[in-house]
Structure 1
Amino acid sequence: MAGPGLSELTLRAREIFRLVVEGYIANGQPVGSRTIAGSGAVGLSPASIRSVLQELQDAGLLAAPHTSAGRMPTEVGLRLFVDGIMQAAEPSLAERTQIERGLAEGGTIEAALAAASSTLSDLSAAAGVVMVPRREMRLAQISFVPLGQARALVVLVGDDGSVENRVIDLPSAASASALEQAGNYLTARMAGRTLADALRAIRAEIASGRSALDTASAALVERGLAVWSRDAAQRPVLVVRGQANLLDEAALGDIERVRQLLDELESAEAIANVLDAAREADSARIFIGSENRLFSLSGSSVIAAPWRDGEGRVVGVVGVIGPTRLNYARVVPMVDFTAQSLSRIITQDGFGRK
């Protein structure tokens, strides 16, 4: 449901709405009229404040979880607050130092990403998440090791010395000589290429009849490359830290929601799809509750920003996942700063370049 815009709220309603949202974000609890009156911020009686709270509830911006309780913002209300009222605060010197120190101590890009995720988790009291750039291995050698009558182990060696193994089913006509021929053929033709490049080139060669492979060896070549191509496309690479932060005191009253969120965090591919939606943004994007299908059941929010390589290309996304009562004014600039710091490290050290 679309709520009213800021221009439709009176100054008094806007101020009371702001106090409810900020109070809820700070404490995770509904805010009542007596609390607002006691703050002295609006100079109104509890009865007058209750009248405004009811108007805001009727407009779909606030909700009352219980009849006698105070009010809390709805997802529509949170979106209005984030887009029109929130005053973002730049990360403090201590926060910037903590982020930069963690990244600098990483050493490798993988360690830097883990540090970014952990630091964001610590600072935001939510789960920190980083989507690792999809860096394709450049190939050096491939071999097929028979495991029995119907299967073989495919061993792939990258030019950086990394080794990966996959088990494939063998065509019925595959012999030991066919396995050897397929391995030699691939090694001779794919050195220095990525999997995608090698697959395109070798398929074209086989299709044009320029290959010296027999039918059985050609089928092995196809299977040996395709298994990695599918795996790379289907396997999101994520670093998630700080799930335990989601089990704070405020969350214990809604343990089912937290359990749902923890289940959602187990779906790496789905999270990668969420983060992908932030790749084209210039700065942090905010997804509140049901604005994102993955976290609609748990009512959780995602704040994510892209980070880039030395040529300005987006190579990954960093962010936090937590309850809708995240401190957006503090966390959004923090996520942006972390993304900028990652981009700077990538540019300086050359990580992420192909």
Structure 2
Amino acid sequence: MKTLSITDINERARDIFRQIVEAYLATGEPVGSRTLSRLPGMNLSPASIRNVMQDLEEIGLLSAPHTSAGRMPTELGLRLFVDGMMQVGEISSEERAQIEAQVKADGISLEDALSRAISTLSGLSSCAGLVLVPKADIPIRQVELIPLSAHRALAILVGEDGSVENRTFELPPGMPSAALIQAANYINARLVGRTLDQARKLIEEELSQNKAELDALAAQVVEKGLAVWSADDDHRDVLIVRGQSRLIEDAAARGDLERVRQLLEDIESKRELARLLELALNASAMKIFIGSENRLFSLSGSSVIAAPYRGADERIVGVIGVIGPTRLNYARVIPMVDYTARVLTRLVSQQ
């Protein structure tokens, strides 16, 4: 099916459609033909406007709530407006200064800077702020394997930065202590000085090519350890969310608590939300997800605006954004998210 574009509707319909969307985003209320006919420069009767509104409804850009004679944009209509008609505003100098002051405060860690950034973004946008913290690829200094029982062992990984991580895994039946020591020596010889990902690739290659001088049980320990560490490593992105209360305040004022209740449940499913933000990791620019375009928000009718931020090598290392109702001020919020991402890029590049 052909994708609908702004050129598929005539100039009169485009003008009426734009007026409806802008009024809806400002008030959250359906817009009626009589209201539109009173706008400056709108030289059409309510009847003529209703005809155009009906045409826009038939092609899926507007909908009519049962309780109102007015029209409001559908998710398809919002997408068309955001992609083809919206004029993005400018972030003010005061807002720029507020973002930079929070992010660049002396003596704070990167994670604290990211947390402050989304808290500030949440306050400025009246949405909840989101940030996907980059994975920490820290070289390993030492690994210890400690038996916990006849069937389980504890692996202790010490990073070169002094960080310590613990993982437990299953032991093969009949595993002697000598084989556990052999496995630990083998892993240490390949892990030390390398990141977990680098060492994992090397060990997997050696095991697959039978180059490892390990007995069968020790090799099983290494393979089981790799499986546990791989699964853990795949979920090491940290999602920080701030400002959920702003969504509740907005909903209470509008009598829309059920939608926000569903949205808060969606946010609590942080793994799914992180997967959504990870889509922006593969994008060179900002991503905007509107409502049911993503299944996570098919019930709550919410939008996410997310922008990647980069490290010193220009590689994308994380994502920052906001989540709110589909009726958010895209023209105002988009430049806020974009500017915050650029400030974070400078910060991360300098560290």
Q: Deviations over 1:117-169 (max 9, x none)?
A: 22222111112111111232311111122222221221111111001111212
C-alpha distance 8-170 of structure 1, shift in aligned 2 (>3 A): closer
Q: Is the 8 A contact 2:289 2:304 kept in 1?
A: yes
Cross-structure match for 2:242: 241
Q: Report how far residue 182 of structure 1 moved.
A: 2.7
What SS does the corresponding residue of 2:281 show, helix, strand or coil? coil
**Counterpart Cα distance in 1 of 2:290 and 2:39:** 28
Count of matched residue pairs: 349
For 1:305, the equivalent position in structure 2 comes to: 307
1:225 aligns with: 226
- Of the candidates 269, 272, 291, which is equivalent to residue 270 of structure 1? 272
Distance 1:26 1:272 in 2: 29
Query: What SS does the corresponding residue of 1:148 show, helix, strand or coil?
Result: coil
- Determine if contact 2:135/2:236 at 8 Å carries over to the other structure: no
Match of 1:289 among 291, 310, 328: 291
Q: For residues 231 and 203 of structure 1, what CA distance do their matches in structure 2 show? A: 16
Distance 2:347 2:228 in 1: 33
Task: Provide the residue aligned with 1:31 in structure 2.
Answer: 31
Give unpaired runs (5+ residues) of structure 2. Answer: none
Whether the 8 Å CA contact 1:195–1:225 is kept in 2: the answer is: no
What residue is the counterpart of 2:75 in the other structure?
Answer: 75
Distance (whole Å) between structure 2 residues aligned to residue 219 and residue 257 of structure 1? 50
Structure 1 residues 62, 175: CA separation in 2 closer, same or farther (over 3 Å shift)?
Answer: same
Aligned residue runs from structure 1 range 204-223, under 5 A = 204-206=205-207, 210-223=211-224
What one-letter code is carried by the residue in structure 2 that aligns with 1:120?
L
Whole-Å Cα distance in 1 between the matches of residues 13 and 249 of structure 2? 31
Q: How does 1:1-354 map to 2 (within 5 A)?
A: 5-105=5-105, 107-206=108-207, 210-250=211-251, 253-349=255-351
Deviation at 1:209, TM superposition (A): 5.3
Deviations 1:188-231 (A, max 9, x none): 33211111222233344455555443333332233233311211
What's the secondary structure of 2:340's corresponding residue? helix
Higher alpha-carbon deviation: 150-159 or 177-186: 177-186
Q: Secondary structure at the match of 1:277?
A: helix
Residue-by-residue CA offset, 1:302-332 (whole Å, 9 max, x unaligned): 1111111112111111111221111110111
Counterpart contact for 1:29–1:250, Cα < 8 Å: no
Identical pairs, percent: 55
**Structure 1 pair 35–140 and aligned structure 2 pair: CA distance change class (3 A):** same
Shift of residue 47, structure 1, vs aligned partner: 4.0
Q: Taking structure 2 as the reference length, what is the TM-score of the superposition?
A: 0.90
Judged with a 3 Å threshold, the aligned counterparts in structure 2 of structure 1 residues 46 and 208 are, in CA distance, closer, same or farther, namely closer
Structure 1's consecutive aligned runs of 4 or more residues displaced over 6 angstroms after TM superposition are none
The whole-number CA distance in structure 2 between the counterparts of 1:282 and 1:142 is 37
Aligned residue type for 2:257: I
TM-score (norm 1): 0.89
Deviations 1:55-93 (A, max 9, x none): 322232111112534211001111121122211001111
Amino acid at match of 2:151: A
The one-letter code sitting in structure 1 at the alignment partner of 2:13 is A
Aligned-residue RMSD, C-alpha: 2.4
| Aligned-partner Cα distance in 2 for 1:268–1:229 | 20
SS of corresponding position for 1:294: helix
